[in-house]
Structures are given as structure tokens and as C-alpha cells.
Amino acid sequence: MGLMGLAALPIHAALPKLTIRTRKNRKIQLRSDTFHEVGAIAFVVRLLLVTFSAQLIACGALHAGSVEEAGRCLRMESGSMLPTIATNSFVSVVPYPDINAAQRGDVVAFRLPVTNSVWVKRLIGNKIQMKQGRLYINCELVEREPVTKIHTEDFYGRETDVPTYKEILPGGTSHTIIEIQGDSGFNDNTQVFEVPPNNYFIMGDNRDNSTDSRAPPDQGGVGYVPGRNIIGYVTTHAGEWEKPIELIDFLVDGRSYIGKRITITGCQFSFAGADSITCVAFNITKDTNFPNALGQVLIAGPSLEKESLRRALRNCSDYNTRRECSGDVIGTVFDVFAELGVKDSPVLGIKCATIKWAIP
């Protein structure tokens, strides 16, 4: 019996012996003739997590830990990359095949040379200066065009429209920047920075609210970033969002969504724990009015948006059909057991997720 079949078992089905083979050709056998709850698949996963001494995926806060600790997704807690990356949104880090593949304009994750914490900024160039709020690369003024103002907070926490520009780097790469203080910010007039070989100059898109290479470490800045500290380029999955799909349909064709960010609708959140939450599809039988579980998908708890996890732990730790525990989940689809080193086990999960509750 395959694990996808396990995920689609009705609630009262018993599970036969289950054999899983790891990449090291080690066999693990699980047997239960008494699993009568929809949490069986979550139990199996948690048992395997203990066996492999690993978590599903630990999604860390940027500038709060190493990428090995954070896994493949990171939460952007800083607003320094607004409007490109929203505060508290998730990003994924993709390693470069070679650091020489990094290009001006890339948004990258890197280890801060002083503390080794993980930050995200944009690669700018190798001879940089700011003059009256304008960026110069190799002594040439970088083109920018005014666009619709972004509505965000100023330094005093007041909601306001701020000057917003489309900045066009040499070579044609463009991105959006904001200037909360206009062209008179603290770092809007600098010296000429001559970047040493094998180092990089980085800046945030929120120019007046970004700690970056415009200031050296001894002045609270970042300074130049050595190439060996670049972890990879950052993607926010732009263009990869799929139209919403019902959980029942996802259970049939879920593997086609691996690696993509999607919205799964029709979830009933049950058995919430810090390591995982079960998104269940229920069918209420007319004759007994009893909820029958048609299938479920696991949500990786450590990578779930914090407020979603708090609410799930508070209200949805049991097996339930309460409306307060229903809603949609938005996240990236991944093969649960493949990330734990197990071959040929197509149980799917959602990581880097946020829950959209039916009752706000």
C-alpha cells in the first residue's frame, strides 16, 4: 500500500504494515491495526522525524540564524526590502551553481561577515556612490522613473504615501525602490565605494530604512560582503502562484504542484502541533451525520506563519469540524518523506505557509 493511499484513508480504516526504504537502504516497518483517527498520517510522520532526528522544515527569521537552521525558506522580518519583499513574508533561497553567476540587480541572501546572521539585500555593483539620493554606478547616474507612491509607515509609525521609483540599473535590470525621506536621507550622500575583488556591495530597496554596504560594520552597517558569504539568490515565487485548488482535487493531482506555491481551499485544521498540522477534507454522511475524513495534507508547523500557528495550537489541536478551525492554506508544496531521505514515498505537505481562516 502506497503512502498516498494512506493519506486518503477514511477515518475508521485500519492501516496495514507499512515498509519504508531510506536512501541508505534501511527498512523501517510500521504496523498498526488500531489507528482509528485521521491523525494517523501525522503520527507516522512524527515517528519518522524522531527516527531521522530532523524536522519537516524549519523556517527561520532573516538576520536570526544560519540557513542550515532555517532550511530552504526564510521569513523576512525586516522592512528593508520594501516594496519588493513585504515584511513577514516568506522567500526561498536558491544556491548559485557558482558565485560568479551572481549578477548586478539580484536579490541575495548572505551571511553577515561580523555575526554570521542571514540578511537579504540587492547586489548593486562594484564602484558606487550616492549623491543627493541618487545612485551612481561607475560614476554614471542610474536612471530612475517616478511611479505610483507606495503606502507604508514613516519613521514615526504613521501611515503615509512615500516617494517611489522604478530604478533601472546598467544592463536594463529594473526594480522598485522607496525613499521615505525623499532624497535627503541619512545615507543619501556618501563617498565613492571601490569594492575589492571577490566582494559585493549590497543595498536595500527601502533606501532610507536599510542597513547595508553604505556604512561599515564599525558604524553599524554591513560593509562589503565577501563572495563566500553569498548563500544564493532569493525568489518570492512571483509568477508561480496557482489558482486556488480544492483539497479534494489536490489529493488526486498533488504531485504536479511540488515546488509551487498554491492556495488549497476547503481545509479543516486538526491535530495542530508545533511540528505539523493536519489539513483534512471531511464528508458529513447524511445517515449518521458523522464526519468522514476523505484525505489530508500535512502543514509543516515550524515554517508556518507565527500567528497562524498560535491560533491553530490554541483552537485546533483536536479532531474537529468546527468552523473556527476551517479555512484555506497558502504555501509551497513539498514531498514530505523525500526531504527526510526516504525514496518512493509520495506523501505531500505544505511549507512556508499561512492560514486564511474562514472566521477572521
Whether residue 8 contacts residue 331, with contact meaning beta carbons closer than 8 Å, is answered with no
Q: For residues 283 and 330, give the distance between their C-alpha atoms in angstroms, rounded to a whole number.
A: 22
- Mean pLDDT, residues 142-151: 96
pLDDT for residue 55 is more than 50? no
Q: For residues 93 and 31, give the distance between their C-alpha atoms in angstroms, rounded to a whole number.
A: 38
50: cell is 524522531
Q: What per-residue confidence (pLDDT) applies to 344?
A: 60
Higher-confidence position of 32 and 172: 172
Say if residue 250 is in the same domain as residue 351.
Answer: yes
Domain membership flag for residue 66: no
177-186: per-residue pLDDT in tens? 999 999 998 8
Domain membership flag for residue 122: yes
Domain membership flag for residue 65: no
Domain membership flag for residue 258: yes
Please report the DSSP string for 260-317 in residue order. Answer: -EEEEEEEEEES--SSEEEEEEEEE-TTT--EEEEEEEEEEGGGS-HHHHHHHHHH-S
Of 115-119, 292-296, 347-351, the one with minimum mean pLDDT is 292-296
pLDDT for residue 208 is more than 90? yes
Q: Which has the closest alpha carbon to 44: 340, 350, 319?
A: 340
Say if residue 172 is in the same domain as residue 284.
Answer: no
Say if residue 219 is in the same domain as residue 256.
Answer: no
Higher-confidence position of 139 and 302: 139
Say if residue 93 is in the same domain as residue 23.
Answer: no
Range of the domain at 325: 3-57+240-357
> Which amino acid makes up residue 29?
Q
Domain membership flag for residue 348: yes
Whether residue 231 contacts residue 119, with contact meaning beta carbons closer than 8 Å, is answered with no
Q: What per-residue confidence (pLDDT) applies to 44?
A: 52
Please report the DSSP string for 191-256 in residue order. Answer: --EEPPTTEEEEE-SBGGG--STTS-GGGTS---EEGGGEEEEEE--TT-PPPPEEHHHHHHHGGG
Q: Specify the 3-state DSSP secondary structure of 44.
A: helix
Of 50-59, 126-135, 287-296, the one with minimum mean pLDDT is 50-59
Of 192-201, 256-265, 272-281, the one with minimum mean pLDDT is 256-265
Of 60-74, 312-326, 341-355, the one with minimum mean pLDDT is 60-74
Task: Look up the CATH number of the domain holding residue 179.
Answer: 2.10.109.10
pLDDT for residue 23 is more than 50? no
Say if residue 82 is in the same domain as residue 161.
Answer: yes
Domain membership flag for residue 182: yes
Among residues of the chain, what percentage have pLDDT more than 70? 73
Say if residue 193 is in the same domain as residue 272.
Answer: no
Q: Specify the 3-state DSSP secondary structure of 82.
A: coil
Whether residue 105 contacts residue 122, with contact meaning beta carbons closer than 8 Å, is answered with yes
Domain membership flag for residue 265: yes
- Mean pLDDT, residues 317-328: 91
Domains: count for the chain = 2
60-94: per-residue pLDDT in tens? 445 432 333 334 677 788 899 999 998 877 777 87
- Last residue in a domain, options 235, 266, 295: 235
Other CB atoms within 10 A of residue 226 CB: 15
What radius of gyration, in Å, describes the C-alpha atoms of the chain? 24
Say if residue 225 is in the same domain as residue 258.
Answer: no
pLDDT for residue 168 is more than 70? yes
Say if residue 147 is in the same domain as residue 208.
Answer: yes
* Band of residue 42 on the pLDDT scale cut at 50, 70, 90: low
Say if residue 97 is in the same domain as residue 227.
Answer: yes
- Mean pLDDT, residues 203-214: 95
* Band of residue 292 on the pLDDT scale cut at 50, 70, 90: low
